[in-house]
Copies of this chain bind each other. A is one copy, B any other.
């Protein structure tokens, strides 16, 4: 399907995608670049890439698919480094958790070549980082959101839909703004709440004893508070507008719950909890 994959960022996300594409026979050759050459060297040793290159220009040269798997804040600088050597028929994708900022960065860096860029967001867990945790099956069964721009030609979206589907993913196509609004609600806000929650527990003098008492509810609720800090700083800032809107909606519900508890309004409190519990109980993760 592709002759050469040019991978920028040989970490968990990029390394896993390279492995998956190779295992599926969708790429013939993978060249890999990392800002820190020790990462791309490790990716070479692990077989995620076939060739280590040391400049963005060398990633672009001869590649018909380019995967940008770097922190979203580095998207524009990455594309700036690729654009001059970019083949006119090459497709570029990213794997970032926010999309409006990535489209904006791509427009600034790529100009008329923006049509070659198809923003992607594979919904894959990534608590561990580093190519040493990369796996050809990381994306299997996941959803992938494609947010083509108004310039993206349908064949580009089709090609990438086909590619992700071959990797065992369910592809959803939507606009970047709708993507960012939805993920503020189901992903970015929960992370923000989990970080704030842990820090609120840590404010207590006896925080360590208290944490020793915590059980499985705490474990699951706070798991995402252990996520990679730089990535989440970037996500919360990149999608700050939607995150703050979702936070305001959450705070309305908190204010309601607080007043029901203060007023010992047993009936209404039960009703609120029932609504949440019933909806959550019937929720299941969407799989490919």
Chain B: CB-nearest residue to A211: B283
User: Is A151 interfacial (CB-CB < 8 Å)?
Assistant: no
User: Is A162 interfacial (CB-CB < 8 Å)?
Assistant: no
Whether A190 pairs with B218 at a CB distance below 8 angstroms is yes
Contact among B190, B218, B240 for A222, CB-based, below 8 A = B190
Interface flags for A209-243 (1: CB within 8 Å of B; 0: not) read 11111111111111111111110110011001001
Q: Note all chain B residues with C-beta closer than 8 A to A244.
A: 258, 261-262
Chain B: CB-nearest residue to A231: B273
Chain B: CB-nearest residue to A187: B217
Whether A279 pairs with B202 at a CB distance below 8 angstroms is yes
In residues 161-192 of chain A, which contact B (Cβ within 8 Å)?
172, 182-183, 185-187, 189-192
Q: Note all chain B residues with C-beta closer than 8 A to A217.
A: 125, 186-187, 190-191, 223-224, 227
Whether B221 pairs with A280 at a CB distance below 8 angstroms is no
Report how far A209 CA is from B253 CA in the complex, Å. Answer: 20
A257 with B195, Cβ < 8 A, contacts A186-B215, A216-B285 known: yes
Contact among B182, B220, B229, B270 for A229, CB-based, below 8 A = B270
User: Is A204 interfacial (CB-CB < 8 Å)?
Assistant: yes
Chain B: CB-nearest residue to A189: B197
Contact among B187, B215, B229, B266 for A285, CB-based, below 8 A = B215
Whether A199 pairs with B145 at a CB distance below 8 angstroms is no
Whether B196 pairs with A280 at a CB distance below 8 angstroms is no
Q: Could you give 6 example pairs across A and B, Cβ below 8 Å?
A: A145-B213, A186-B218, A194-B280, A196-B256, A233-B266, A237-B261
Q: A193-B193, A195-B277 are in contact. List 13 more A-B contacts (CB 8 A).
A: A182-B210, A186-B217, A193-B221, A199-B253, A211-B283, A214-B283, A215-B285, A217-B224, A221-B223, A229-B270, A229-B277, A233-B270, A244-B258
Taking Cβ atoms with an 8 Å cutoff, the residues of A that contact B are 123-125, 142-143, 145, 172, 182-183, 185-187, 189-204, 206, 209-230, 232-233, 236-237, 240, 243-244, 246-247, 249-254, 256-258, 261-262, 264, 266, 269-270, 272-277, 279-281, 283, 285-286
- Top 6 nearest A-B pairs by Cβ distance? A186-B214, A196-B253, A198-B276, A226-B280, A123-B215, A195-B276
